[in-house]
Amino acid sequence: MEELNLKLKIWRQPGPNQKGDFVAYKVNGLNTHMSFLEMLDVLNEQLVNLGQDPVAFDHDCREGICGMCSMVINGKPHGPQKGTTTCQLHMRHFNNGDTITIEPWRAKPFPVLKDLIVDRSSFDRIIQAGGYVSVNTGSAPDGNSIPIGKEIAEDAFDAAACIGCGACVAACKNASASLFVSAKVSQLALLPQGQPEREERVVKMVSKMDEEGFGHCTNTGACEAECPKEISLEYIRKLNWEYHRSNIKG
Amino acid sequence: MKTYFTSTLFRKTLASLSGVFLVLFLAGHLAGNLQLFIPGEAGQKQFNEYAFFMTTNPVVNLLSIITYSAIILHVLLTFYLTIQSRNARPVKYAVSSGTTNSSWASNNMAVLGTLLLIFLVIHLRSFWYEMHFGSIEKDIWGKKDLYTVTVSAFHELWYVSIYVISMVVLGLHLKHGLESAFQTLGFRTRKYSSSIKAITTGLVLLIPITFASIPIFIYIKNI
Amino acid sequence: MILDNKIPEGPLADKWTNYKAKVPLVSPSNKRRLEVIIIGTGLAGASAAASLAEMGYKVKAFCFQDSPRRAHSIAAQGGINAAKNYQNDGDSVYRLFYDTIKGGDYRSREANVYRLAEVSSSIIDQCVAQGVPFAREYGGTLDNRSFGGVQVSRTFYARGQTGQQLLLGAYSALSRQISKGNVQMFNRHEMLDIVKIEGKARGVIVRNLITGEYQRHFGHAVVLATGGYGNVYYLSTNAMGSNVTASWRAHKKGAMFANPCYTQIHPTCIPVSGEYQSKLTLMSESLRNDGRIWVPRKKGDNRAGIDIPEEDRDYYLERRYPAFGNLVPRDVASRAAKERCDAGYGVGSTGLAVYLDFEDAIKRLGKDVVSSRYGNLFEMYEKITGENPYKMPMRIFPAVHYTMGGLWVDYDLMTTVPGLYAIGECNFSDHGANRLGASALMQGLADGYFVLPYTLGKYLSEDIRTPAISTDHEEFEKAEKKTKDQVKRLLENNGNRSVESYHRELGKIVWDYCGMSRNKKELKSAIEEIKVIKNDFWNNVLVPGEDNVINPELTKAGRVADFIELGELMMRDALARDESCGGHFREEHQTGEGEAMRDDAKFAFTSAWEFNSENKDPILNKEVLEFENVQLTQRSYK
C-alpha cells in the first residue's frame, strides 16, 4: 500500500477576535485509504502528544450528511472531489509530497470561532425567518389526502437534499447564500403544503439573507460546482422568480 | 412591498434589466453602424443624415436620455453590488479556486465592465462629443460630417486596435451578463435554458464581431 | 427499589386512548409560566421542543452541534414504519405492534410498543404536512417499501435520506417556534449535570463549548433526547460527537439505566481499513435484497474475489438459512459473518470482511436496473474504498449501529428521577433486545410529537404552583462546582496519554467482549480490564489547552470518562443476563446449530441498573415483563 508524506499549511486562529495565520505541519506515513479528516486526526494526535493545541475543526457524522465539516482545501470548499464532503474525501486523491493548504469558510456572516471552525448560525436564522410550513403538531390531515405527483416530489427532494454546510457561500466570490436559500424556498414552493405562505416566505428569507450580510448572486455557478449535494442552479432561478412573483402578487 | 424594493435582489434585477436594455441599444447602434459599409459618397450622405436624425429627433433624444440613464444606473448598481460583495468576504482566501468551478468572465465582470467604461469614454469623446460639441466640418449636403471623422479614426491602427480589443471585452461581458440576466429575472427554466443559451451565444458572437468588422473593413480598405 | 411502570389499566388497544382522555390538563395561562428544558435536538428532541412550544410551554433547547439540524438522526437512510395499510396488504396497528415485539425477541413492554404502533400513522401525516418530500407513486400517493423481519410493506421513505428529511421537518417546526420566541435555542452547549432539588429534576448545568462558560438553567421538567451510546465501542456508525454523557450523568443522579448490553450490530457496513479508522459507514440493508453474501470455501484463499470460481465460494447464509437466505434479521446476519471470519474464512487485508456480491444480480437484472436500485450506495462504497462494486464484490463487515438499552422510563417516559424524562434512542423503551429496521425514526418522532406532549402535562399539572427556582439555589451551586472540579482535574492531570488512545482501548475491549457474542469468562475479565483503564485514565490522561476556549480534547475527555464507566456497566449487564436474546448472544446459550436461545422463565424482565456510589457495585432492579397479548416463541429463520 502506498504511503503518503504531506506538508500542510493550516489556518490557525486562537479565537474570534484574535489574529490568525498559516502554520506549516508535516505528516508522514499516511495511508491512502484514510479520509481527509482521519489525516487531520493523525496530525492532532501528534500535536496532543507534544502537549500542543490540536487543530480545531467541525465534523460530526463523517458520512457526508450532517453538513458540519467545513474546510477549504487548496482553494476548494470540501476539496477537489466533486459532489463530496470533506469527511468523504479520501487521501488517495492526493500525491506523496503534496502541500495542502487548509482554510476555514471565509464570509462575513460566517465569522471564524477558532482555527477552521466558523459560526454558521446565520443559516439557522434564515430558516427561522420563514423556512417552514406553519403546521402545529396534531393538526395534519391524512398523508394521502394531498396527492403530489412523483416528478414534483422528486424535484422538491432534489432541493431538500441541501445539508446546510455552507460550501456554496464559501465557494461564491460574493459570499452569497443564494443556493442555500433557494433550496428551501424551492422545496416548499414546489409542494402544495408550502402554498399558503409561499409569497411571505421568500420575501422574509431573502431579506434575512441580506440582513445577515451575505453578498449577492452573480450567477457564476461556483456554488453548484462545489456543492457536495450538487444542488442545481435551477433553484436560484426559481428563487429569483418566486421573489419577483411575490412582489407582483403583493 | 417595501422590502422588495430595498433588497439586494431587486437592485440586482434592475442591473439585469438595464443590462438587457443596453444590449437592445447595442443592437440598434450596430444597425446604424452598418451604414458605414456603404461605399463612397452615398455612404457618407446616408450616414451623416442618419447621424443628424439621431441627434435631432425628439423621440430619439428621449431614447438617448433613457440610454444614458441605463448606463449610469447599470454602473452605479453594479459598483454598489460589487462593493457589497467585497464586504461580504473581508478576509480573502490564500489559495483561489480560479476557474476550476466557474468561467473566467463570470468572475471578472467588474474588470470587464470597467474596461468597457473606459472604452465608452474614449468612444464618446471621439464621436459623440465631436458630434454634439465639437467643431465638426459640414459635408457637401450641409450636415455635420461625422462620416469623415469616423472613417479617419478607423484609419489609425491604434484606434482600430483599441476598438477591436474592446469588442472582445464586450463579448466576454455580454456572454456572462446576458445569460445571467435571464437567470436573475427568473426566465432560465430547465425547459428554456438551452434555447436561451443558443440565443445569447448567437447575440454575444454577432454583436461584437459585427461591430469590430467595421473598423477592420475600413482600415484594410485604406491600406 | 420497586419499579412502577405506570401502565394504564384496561385492554391493550384502549390504554392510550383512555390515558389521553383522563390525563390532567394544564391551562394556557399556566403553560406560559412552566419552563421545560430539552437536551438534544434530533428527531425526538426537536419534535418535542416544537410541540411543547406550540402548546404554550416555555422551552429551552440545547445541542452540542453548531445547529439543531445536524443531530445524528440525519444519517438514517432507510425509512420510517407506520401502520397505514396504504398498500392494502393487511397491515394494522396490531401487526406493527406484534412485529416489533417479536423482532425485539420478547424483551420489550407491550403497552409502550402498542402505543408506538398506534401513533405511527399520525407521524406520517405530520411530516407530510411539514413538506417532507416522501417518495410518491405516479398517482401522487405515498410510496412504501418493505424491510427486514416483516411481511408487509409499511416503510415510508425519502430516497436513501429519510432521516435527513424527517429531521429537517422537525428542525423547521423547531425553527418556527424559535422565531416566535417560544423556544430559546442554545447551540454548541453541552449538558454536564442534572440539578435535583427536593428529589425532583429542576435544571441543568451546561457548558458553552465556544467560551467554556458554565451556565445554570432552571426547568420545571428536564427532557433528555440525547441519542444512543454506540460510541462506547469507539468504532460505530454513530457520529463522532454522539455520546452518553447526559444520560450517564443523569444515571449518576438517580436515573436507572436499563438493558445497557442490548446493542444492535448492523451487518452491512464498510469494513475497517486500518488503525487510523475513526468511524464506520453503514450501507443500507436493502443491499441484501439482491446481493449475495459469501466467503471462500478454502481458508486463506487470497485470490481476488472476482477470481474465485463458483465452486470455491460458500454462500453461508443461503446454506444455513435456506428459508430467509441473505435476508435474515440483522443480528443473525451479523453473527454469521463473525462466525466465518473467526473460523478463518474472512477476506480483505484484515481478514475481517465477507463479500457482498452483485454479479448474479447484474446478470439477472442488468447493470441499469442494479444501478437504479443501488447506484448511490455503490457510489458511496467507491468513494470510501476506491473500488468499483460493479466490477468486484463489495467487502462488508458488521458494525455497531444502534443501542436498544438506555435510561429506564415508565409509560410516561419519565425516568426514576421525578421530572426527568428520556425520549428517543436514549431511553430503553420500545425495541427490546433487537430493533427492527425503520423503527428508530418512528420511535423518536412518536415520543417527541405524540407521547411526551401528553405525558409531560400530567406531571406539570401538579407543578403549576411551583414558581421558577432561582439558579442561585445551593443545588445549582453544588452541581456546577462538581462539574468544574472534574474539568479542572482533567486539565491539570498533565499525563502522557491522549484521550483518543483510551477511547480506542476501551472500544476494543467492549467490541471484543460485549460485541456480537459474549461469554461469562470474558465478561468477568473485561470488568477488571475496564477498571484498570478507568484508573489509568484519571492518572495519565493528557488534555491540552484551557477551559475558556473551544477545546475539543477537553470535551472528548469528559465523554470518554463516561463511556469507560458505561462500558463496565454493559459488561455487568451482559454477565447478569445469562441467556441469549436479540442482539445479546451468550455463547453458553445457543442451540446445536448456533442459534440464540432465550430463557423466558428466568429472564423475561428488563434490567434496570441503579447507580450506587463511585466505589460500590451498581444494583440490579428488575421490571418483570408481562405478556398478555402475544405468545412467546423461539424465532426461527431456517
Q: Which residues of chain C have pLDDT under 50?
A: none
Q: Which residues of A touch B192 (CB under 8 A)?
A: none
Q: Nearest CA to CA, how far is C130 from chain A (Å)? A: 5
Q: Which residues of C touch A62 (CB under 8 A)?
A: 239-240, 278-279, 281
Q: Please measure the distance between the N-terminal and C-terminal CA atoms of chain C and give it in whole angstroms.
A: 42
Domain boundaries, chain A: 3-114, 120-249
Q: Which residues contact C342 (CB under 8 A, 6 or more apart)?
A: none
Q: DSSP of C43-109, one letter per residue?
A: HHHHHHHHHHHHHT-EEEEE-SSSSGGGSGGGG--S-EE----TT-SS--HHHHHHHHHHHTTT-S-
Among C281, C295, C279, C406, which Cα is nearest to C340's?
A: C295
Distance from chain centroid for Cα A100: 21
Q: With respect to residue B56, please indicate whether it lies within any of the assigned structural domains.
A: yes
Is the Cβ of A24 closer than 8 Å to some Cβ of chain C? Answer: no
Question: Residue B106 is nearest to which of A219, A226, A243, comparing CB atoms?
Answer: A219
Distance CA C264, CA C434 (A): 6
Q: Please measure the distance between the N-terminal and C-terminal CA atoms of chain A and give it in whole angstroms.
A: 64
Is the Cβ of A56 closer than 8 Å to some Cβ of chain C? Answer: yes
The model's pLDDT over A40-91, given as tens digits with 9 standing for 90+, comes to: 999 999 999 998 999 999 999 999 999 999 999 999 999 999 999 999 999 9
CATH architecture of C493-599: Up-down Bundle (1.20)
Identify the sign of the CA torsion C376, C381, C387, C392: negative
- Mean pLDDT of chain A, nearest integer: 96
For residue A152, with 0-12 CB atoms within 10 Å meaning exposed, 13-18 middle and 19 or more buried, which class applies? Answer: middle
ipTM for the complex shown: 0.98
What was the pLDDT predicted at A1? 54
CATH number of A3-114: 3.10.20.30
CATH number of C265-399: 3.90.700.10
What was the pLDDT predicted at C554? 97
Q: Where are the beta strands (DSSP E) in C449-516?
A: 497-498
C-alpha cell at B87: 464586504
Is the Cβ of C80 closer than 8 Å to some Cβ of chain A? Answer: no
Distance CA C10, CA B104 (A): 73
Q: Helix H segments across chain B?
A: 2-6, 8-33, 40-56, 58-88, 104-107, 109-123, 130-133, 146-153, 157-185, 190-222
Do A240 and B13 count as a contact with CB atoms less than 8 A apart?
yes
Is the Cβ of A29 closer than 8 Å to some Cβ of chain C? Answer: no
Q: Which of residues 145-204 of A touch B (CB under 8 A)?
A: 171, 173-176, 203
Give all chains having 3 or more CB-to-CB distances under 8 Å with chain A: B, C
Q: Is A in contact with B (3 or more beta carbon pairs below 8 Å)?
A: yes
Do B85 and A225 count as a contact with CB atoms less than 8 A apart?
no
Strand partners, C403: C263
Q: Which of residues 52-91 of A touch B (CB under 8 A)?
A: 72, 74-76
CATH number of C12-262+404-460: 3.50.50.60
Do A219 and B179 count as a contact with CB atoms less than 8 A apart?
yes
Is the Cβ of A231 closer than 8 Å to some Cβ of chain B? Answer: no
Check if A3-114 and A120-249 are the same fold. no
Q: Which CATH superfamily is domain A120-249 in?
A: Alpha-helical ferredoxin (1.10.1060.10)
Q: Which residues of B touch A19 (CB under 8 A)?
A: none
Contact A184, C165 (CB under 8 A): no
Contact C331, C148 (CB under 8 A): no
Q: Per mean pLDDT, which range of A8-12, A154-158, C378-382, C510-514 is the poorest?
A: C378-382
Identify the sign of the CA torsion C1, C7, C8, C10: negative
For residue C495, with 0-12 CB atoms within 10 Å meaning exposed, 13-18 middle and 19 or more buried, which class applies? Answer: middle
C-alpha cell at C65: 452541534
Do C544 and A53 count as a contact with CB atoms less than 8 A apart?
yes
Do A237 and B97 count as a contact with CB atoms less than 8 A apart?
no
Among residues C330, C340, C559, C598, which one is catalytic? C330
The model's pLDDT over B138-163, given as tens digits with 9 standing for 90+, comes to: 999 999 999 999 999 999 999 999 99
Question: Residue C178 is nearest to which of A62, A81, A128, comparing CB atoms?
Answer: A128
Is the Cβ of C344 closer than 8 Å to some Cβ of chain A? Answer: no
3-state secondary structure of C126: helix
Give the C-alpha distances (Å, rounded to integers) separating C133 from A148, A155, A241, C50, C161: 9, 9, 22, 20, 10
HEC per residue, C147-184: CCCCCCCCEECCCCCHHHHHHHHHHHHHHHHHHCCCEE
CB atoms closer than 10 angstroms to residue C546: 12
Q: In what order do the strands lie in the sheet with C619-624?
A: C406-407, C257-258, C605-610, C619-624
Q: Which residues of B touch A107 (CB under 8 A)?
A: 88-89
Q: With respect to residue B43, please indicate whether it lies within any of the assigned structural domains.
A: yes
Q: With respect to residue B211, please indicate whether it lies within any of the assigned structural domains.
A: yes
What was the pLDDT predicted at C50? 98
* Helix pair A234-249, A178-190: axis angle to 10 deg: 70
Distance CA C65, CA C71 (A): 7
Q: Which residues contact A76 (CB under 8 A, 6 or more apart)?
A: A171, A226, B97, B100, B101
Distance CA B212, CA B160 (A): 8
Q: Is C in contact with B (3 or more beta carbon pairs below 8 Å)?
A: no
* Domain carrying residue B65: 16-87+106-222
Q: Which residues of A touch C554 (CB under 8 A)?
A: none
What was the pLDDT predicted at B147? 95
Q: Which residues of A touch B109 (CB under 8 A)?
A: 218
Give the C-alpha distances (Å, rounded to integers) separating C274 from A1, A49, C208, C434: 12, 20, 34, 29
Number of domains within chain B: 1
Q: Nearest CA to CA, how far is C184 from chain A (Å)? A: 12
Do A206 and B7 count as a contact with CB atoms less than 8 A apart?
yes
Q: Which residues of B touch A220 (CB under 8 A)?
A: 101-103, 106-107, 176
Q: Nearest CA to CA, how far is A40 from chain C (Å)? A: 10
Contact C206, C190 (CB under 8 A): yes
Query: Residue B1 above 50 pLDDT?
Result: no
**Count of all residues that appear for chain A in the document:** 250
Residue C15: half-sphere exposure toward Cβ, Cα within 13 Å: 20
Identify the sign of the CA torsion C436, C438, C439, C444: positive
Amino acid at position C342, single letter: D
Q: Per mean pLDDT, which range of A92-106, A155-169, B46-60, C361-375 is the poorest?
A: C361-375
Question: Residue C61: phi, psi to the nearest 5?
Answer: -120, 145
What was the pLDDT predicted at C149? 67
Query: Residue B39 above 80 pLDDT?
Result: yes
Q: Is C330 considered catalytic here?
A: yes
Contact C58, C35 (CB under 8 A): yes
Domain boundaries, chain C: 12-262+404-460, 265-399, 493-599
Do B81 and A216 count as a contact with CB atoms less than 8 A apart?
yes
Question: Residue A129 is nearest to which of C129, C179, C282, comparing CB atoms?
Answer: C179
Using only the alpha carbons of chain C, give its radius of gyration: 24
Distance CA C355, CA C364 (A): 19
Helix (H) or strand (E) run with residue A100 in it: strand A99-103
Distance CA C637, CA C317 (A): 11
The model's pLDDT over A186-225, given as tens digits with 9 standing for 90+, comes to: 999 999 999 999 999 999 999 999 999 999 999 999 999 9
Q: Helix H segments across C139-290?
A: 162-179, 245-252
Q: Which of residues 108-147 of C touch A (CB under 8 A)?
A: 122, 124-142
What is the pairing mode between strands A3-12 and A99-103? parallel
Average pLDDT over residues B183-196: 95
